Chain A
Amino acid sequence: MTARWLWWFAILCGVSLLVGARQLEWGQLLSLSGDAWLTLTASRLPRLAALVLTGVGLAVCGVILQHIVRNKFVEPGTTGGLDAARLGILMSLVLAPGAGAPARMLFALLLSFAAGLIFVLIIRRIQFKGSVLVPVIGLMYGGVLSAIAEFYAYRNNIMQSMQGWLLGDFSRVVQGSYEIIYLILPIVGLTYLYARRFTLLGMGEGMATSLGLNYLAWVALGLLLVAVTVSATVITVGSIPFVGLVIPNLVALRYGDNLRRTLPIVALGGACLLLVCDILGRLLIYPFEVPIGLTAGSVGGVLFLALIIRRYR
């Protein structure tokens, strides 16, 4: 089954390299120089790498969070993680205007980690009647965080530029501006290495502890991994909703919850979904492009609606 996904993935990668505002002259490629070569190495390949890494990272993030909170409806977008990362970038812009991308990333990382911890604490304190209430609280939590961000942005007159990086967009990704995204690689590696422990986390605190897991430490580590991924993606491409929600759910419906087995499929699925959305966005109003935040938002949103309606009918 993984092989089939790999095929789809390879085809999508190829299409993604071919589509673009500038026609590639394939003859020129062989000389490894010239216009076509520059387009390929400076724009198409970085874009492909960023797309794949973001898709993989977001989907894996969704899985980790879902195991920590033990709820199928959470992802960074529904637990305030994205909003906190945005708030962090905003704070770094105001407090240290000259700082480079690493400093901004650090701010985003710290805030989204803190927001994740607070969210888990809130969830642990509340005893739930229905699983749907968790994302509802997460969304409200995110609403409050973004209200703080708006309050801050409005005072400093950067509302408009904030709107700019609210929306996921890969057209900015060129050589030299996206390398932070490679941080996702070790994160995914670590997650796969410890996949069994995250599966245990998903069985609940009592079960995990009695099987010899230091529950709190693993929750904190999971949240840290998520925070790194989220802040790296928000810094380089902006926020992309629903990917972390839809892919893990679809995979879990078909292949179950053993992370060691399903994690590769989740990762491939996330990458494929983003590739499809990106190709769509590039073709819809060719030669311009629709930001991926919009295409992923609508495709993912519709999928998610279908998913919850299916589950609750």
Chain B
Amino acid sequence: MMRLQPRHAVWIVVVTLALIFVFLHSGLDFDYVIPKRIARLTAMLIGGAAIAWSSITFQTLTGNRILTPAIMGYEAVYLLWQALLILFMGSASLVLLGVNGNFVLSVLLMLGYSWGIHRWLFRDGKSNVYFLLLVGFVLTLLISTFTQFVQLKVSPGEFSILQGFSQASFNRAQPLQLLFSGLLVGAVCLLGRKTLPTLDVLSLGRDQAVSLGVDYRRNVRLHLALIAILVAVSTSLLGPTAFMGVFVANITYALARTFRHRVTLPLGGAIATGMFITAQLLVEHVFNYKTTVGILVNLVCGGYFLVLMVRTRGAP
């Protein structure tokens, strides 16, 4: 019999959490309560998988354990796009584009951004990762000022739509959007599954990968595109989750005790989902809705990040 490893324990814990989440105080109401909760659970599952996958592969590509796409400006670009839509077209944009039209455009925009990142990051082998991180941060600050400016110009109703976009929540997902996102994430996973061994090689670094016969540029481009799609999915589904990715990726490495993507990617997805369920359970049953998932996630994950930086002395 196999010994129970931490990474298997994670799966058991997550499944238990999910069951608790669906059935706790539900009164076994299969008409309303449970379908609603299952919809939320699905959103968490899709979002968690997207966050874990995008963060871990991004860290593999950049060879750095404190970077995630969320803090590199992807989320800022998404929010800027939403702010511009509301500013120039008002809430009519929601009708005009529909949820899916908006979604497709967001994905395209993020693909463009990740193409820009690609050019910056891998320009003549010189790594400008931290520079890019700073630019991402300044962009985020600028954009949040800009959204406050938009607040002055638009009506309160339109503003509340905008504010909805900028806070993490599991309740906004419509069934159709869930289906759409689920299909996309599923497709990405299927596509990415074949390249998992290549990813393992990429994590050795550029020179090693090239000398082992991997087409470095092509693979990096492919994975950055996948990351853009995943970030778009998770941001439009749940909202911004700034520090979550760093937290999930590093916990995953610690529990998996290996860097093989075949192990880390599914495990990361499970951990992210577990985090979301725990946060939501805490909000619902402990804090009695006196706080939000976004605040809890930022608090725990941001704190963890600082501890990580101090303990590893900035050289993770």
Contact = CB atoms under 8 A, between A and B. Distances in A.
Interface of A: 73, 122, 125-130, 132-133, 135-137, 139-141, 143-144, 147-148, 150-151, 154-155, 167, 241, 285, 290, 293-294, 297-298, 301-302, 304-305, 308-309, 312
B281 interface: no
A308 B141 CA distance: 15
A128 B309 CA distance: 11
Interface in B125-160: 128, 130-131, 133-135, 137-139, 141-142, 145-146, 148-149, 152
Given A143-B242, A151-B291, A304-B138, A127 B313 contact: yes
Contact of B315 (A129, A132, A135, A148): A129
Interface of B: 128, 130-131, 133-135, 137-139, 141-142, 145-146, 148-149, 152, 242-243, 287, 290-292, 295-296, 298-299, 302-303, 305-306, 309-310, 313-315
Contacts of B243: 140, 143
B315 A127 contact: yes
A125 B307 CA distance: 12
Contacts of B130: 129-130, 132-133, 136
Contacts of B135: 305, 308-309
B148 A135 contact: no
Given A139-B137, A140-B302, A154 B292 contact: yes
Contacts, number: 102
Contact of B148 (A141, A285, A294, A309): A294
A137 B309 contact: yes
Contacts of A297: 141-142, 145
Of the listed residues B135, B138, B305, B314, the one surrounded by the most CB atoms of chain A closer than 10 A to its CB is: B138
Contacts of B152: 285, 290, 294
Contacts of A308: 131, 134-135, 138
Nearest to B305: A140
Given A141-B306, A143-B302, A305-B135, A125 B313 contact: yes
Please give me the 10 A-B residue pairs with the lowest Cβ-Cβ distance, nearest first: A297-B145, A126-B314, A144-B302, A301-B142, A147-B298, A132-B130, A147-B299, A130-B130, A155-B290, A132-B134
